[in-house]
Amino acid sequence: MAGNVSSPSTTVTGRALSLVAAFDEDHRRLTLTELATRAGLPVPTAHRLLAELVEWGALARDPRGSYVIGRRLWDLGMLAPVQRGLRDVASPYLHDLYGATHATVHLAVRDDLSALYLDRLAGHTSVPVVSTVGSRLPLHATGVGKVLLAHSSEQVVQEALARLERVTPYTVTQPGRLRRQLEQVRHDGYAVTREEMSLGACSLAVPVVSRERVVAALGIVVPSLESSQVRLVAALQVAARGIARSLGSADDPRATP
């Protein structure tokens, strides 16, 4: 799985961007040659563009000379309206929820065919969890993902069902079965997963409904569901309603679903 040699974009901006795009969750430090390869550019060209990006602060060089994402991009990223209102509003509720459950708490929205984690809140002793803020996980294997999918258009559902990757032995990979689960989620008002994304981790999630639209999903990850499920769902719903209420008041409707 060496290089996703992207289409060698002919425009300059495109090329510069393809260099930046070479970074991802698993590639936070890249060398010149790696970048050139991944962006599908000749080394000297990459070098020149990178120099510019570094000068501007989009990228930075670590002590070893490798390239990393720079502080300026981080700054700018924080300005993104990516549900910024949502994130700000939700923060205290995530918190309450953590206080009530001591489970890892997640806030996610759907972005294309993945669940995009807007915020995460984990304690010291939480179950090992794969997600980090800004990361994406598949819709079919996570609690928040199922909630989001359950309230998506038929077209999205079809696309998602078309590629159900197996992650653990318990991942649901049969379209029919998942469809029934989604129906269940809509009926129950919450979603459940049991070790479908990572072993030893179960999750519960509920939708956050504002102006009659599902704007996000709120979920928690716990080692097991045993008896406490009812209580946890109740806590989730309280938090979700709180978020929705805060969203409804004093917030402009610039959603970006």
Contacts with DNA, residue ranges (CB under 7 A)? 10-15, 31-33, 41-45, 47-49, 51, 65-66
Based on CB atoms, which residue is closest to DNA, 48 or 177? 48
Write down the least CB distance from residue 19 to DNA, Å. 11
Give CA–CA dist 46/32, Å, rounded: 7
Write down the least CB distance from residue 113 to its own copies, Å. 14
Write down the least CB distance from residue 64 to its own copies, Å. 9
Evaluate whether 126 touches 201 at the Cβ level (below 8 Å): no
Collapsed DSSP state (helix, strand, coil) of residue 235? helix
Based on CB atoms, which residue is closest to DNA, 48 or 71? 48
Based on CB atoms, which residue is closest to DNA, 49 or 94? 49
Which tokens go with 51? 């120099």
Nearest to 9 by CA among 41, 38, 32: 41
Site of interaction with its own copies (CB under 8 A): 11-14, 16-17, 20-21, 23-25, 28-29, 49, 52-53, 56, 58, 60, 62-63, 68-82, 88, 91-92, 95, 98-99, 111, 116, 121-124, 132-135, 254, 256
With b meaning 16 or more CB within 10 Å and e meaning fewer, what string describes 233-254? bebbeebbebbbebbeeeeeee
Distance of CA 202 to the CA centre of its chain: 17
Choose the one of its own copies, DNA, none that binds residue 183, judging by a C-beta under 5 to 8 angstroms depending on kind: none
Choose the one of its own copies, DNA, none that binds residue 10, judging by a C-beta under 5 to 8 angstroms depending on kind: DNA
Beta carbons within 8 Å of 243's beta carbon, 6+ residues apart: 86, 89, 90, 93, 208, 210, 216, 218
Choose the one of its own copies, DNA, none that binds residue 41, judging by a C-beta under 5 to 8 angstroms depending on kind: DNA
Choose the one of its own copies, DNA, none that binds residue 45, judging by a C-beta under 5 to 8 angstroms depending on kind: DNA
Choose the one of DNA, its own copies, none that binds residue 63, judging by a C-beta under 5 to 8 angstroms depending on kind: its own copies
Nearest to 156 by CA among 220, 109, 192: 109
